[in-house]
């Protein structure tokens, strides 16, 4: 066995242990990225090998949390992919406006930037008070950060640019207050967002949603897990509802694709069909 193959074995053993001890299931995560993240964690952890780290990791929750942070934290931006938010504003909002109240599930919300972006967008199109966003992430630590709605002031320039490119109709500076080197998002944005920990790999579905965003979360999953999570999202989405994936995540060749219609090319916004095809019963 090469040293590389031994690392593969160590990763497998560790993931099995993590699942049994803590219930986090990374066994069906795509190996290339997970490996990169684990090696990165290892290099700053002080342990020589994953085998040496395994025993303390399985016994010390605090240490495990640093690993969890290392392998689950995703970078986020407000109005990340402005053209996506523009498409939501122009193509999806007209449909949402026809409902008295809309429910949105943002799965994999990380530190909350995109959930707040969605709240801003919905305020601007006149849906204030008529929506609730359930923003979830596997990592409780990022959920705590998301709840605070405080971001480094230096980010605001980029967020503002994104906001403008996304078709924002107001002034982005109206949505935050600068204090020292931080920007505190307006509390009115938080009113309609519920942040909660939720693990797509092991937890169950969420009620009847009109819109589900799960962008660049499943790119880290192997195919069987991806299919399972897509089916979970499908179960949680009302007919006529919208499913939004990352720019490079397509529903082509996925089990649920027959029930969905692509709204626009290269945007990965899908609409769930109303009429289910009558299935032939045996």
Residues of this chain that interact with another protein (CB under 8 A) are 2, 4, 8, 30-33, 35-37, 74-75, 81-83, 216, 219-220, 223, 226, 246-250, 266
Q: Which two tokens stand for residue 111?
A: 């530190």
Closest CA to 257 of 240, 270, 241: 270
Nearest approach, Cβ of residue 220 and another protein (Å): 7
**Residue whose CB is less far from another protein, 33 or 188:** 33
Minimum CB separation from another protein for residue 3, in Å?
A: 10
What's the min distance (Å) between Cβ of 28 and another protein?
13
Nearer to another protein by Cβ, of 220 and 260: the residue is: 220
Nearer residue to another protein within complex by CB, 2 or 280: 2
**In the complex with another protein, which residue's Cβ is closer, 102 or 245?**
245
Q: Which is nearer to another protein, 25 or 249 (CB)?
A: 249
Q: How far is the CB of 231 from another protein (least distance, A)?
A: 17
Q: How far is the CB of 119 from another protein (least distance, A)?
A: 22
Pick the closer one to another protein by CB: 248 or 277: 248
Q: What's the min distance (Å) between Cβ of 223 and another protein?
A: 6
Q: Which residues contact 139 (CB under 8 A, 6 or more apart)?
A: 68, 69, 72, 73, 110, 197
HEC string for the chain? CCHHHHHHHHHHHHHHHHHHHHCCCCCCECHHHHHHHHHHHHHHHCCCCHHHHHHHHHHCHHHHHHHHHHHHCCCCCCCCCHHHHHHHHHHHHHHHCCCCCEEEEEECCCCCHHHHHHHHHHHHCCCCCCEEEEEEECCHHHHHHHHHCEEEHHHHHHHHHHHHHCCCCCCHHHHEEEECCEEEECHHHHCCEEEEECCCCCCCCCCCEEEEEECCCHHHECHHHHHHHHHHHHHHEEEEEEEEECCCCCCCCCHHHHHEEEEECCCCEEEECCCCCCCCCC
Q: How far apart are CA 149 and CA 183, in angstroms?
A: 8
CB of 258 to another protein, least distance (A): 19
**Beta carbon nearer to another protein, 2 or 204:** 2
């Amino acid at each position: 066995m090469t040293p590389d193959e031994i690392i593969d074995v160590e990763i497998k053993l560790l993931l099995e242990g993590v699942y049994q001890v803590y219930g986090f299931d990374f066994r069906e995560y795509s190996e290339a990225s997970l490996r990169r993240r684990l090696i990165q964690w290892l290099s700053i952890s002080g342990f020589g090998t994953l085998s040496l780290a395994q025993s303390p990791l399985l016994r010390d929750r605090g240490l495990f949390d640093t690993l969890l942070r290392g392998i689950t934290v995703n970078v986020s931006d407000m109005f990340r992919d402005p053209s996506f938010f523009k498409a939501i504003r122009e193509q999806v909002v007209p449909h949402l406006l026809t409902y008295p109240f809309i429910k949105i599930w943002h799965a994999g919300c990380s530190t909350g930037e995109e959930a707040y972006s969605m709240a801003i967008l919905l305020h601007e199109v006149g849906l204030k008070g008529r929506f609730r966003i359930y923003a979830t992430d596997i990592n409780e630590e990022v959920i705590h950060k998301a709840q605070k709605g405080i971001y480094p002031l230096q980010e605001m320039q980029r967020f503002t640019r994104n906001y403008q490119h996304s078709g924002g109709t107001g002034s982005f500076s109206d949505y935050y207050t600068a204090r020292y080197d931080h920007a505190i998002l307006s509390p009115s944005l938080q009113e309609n967002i519920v942040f909660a920990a939720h693990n797509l790999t092991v937890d169950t579905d969420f009620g009847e949603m009109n819109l589900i965003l799960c962008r660049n979360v499943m790119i880290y999953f192997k195919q069987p897990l991806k299919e399972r999570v897509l089916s979970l999202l499908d179960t949680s989405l009302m007919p006529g509802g919208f499913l939004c994936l990352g720019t490079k995540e397509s529903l082509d060749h996925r089990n649920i694709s027959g029930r969905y219609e692509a709204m626009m090319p290269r945007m990965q916004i899908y609409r769930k069909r109303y009429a289910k095809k009558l299935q032939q019963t045996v």
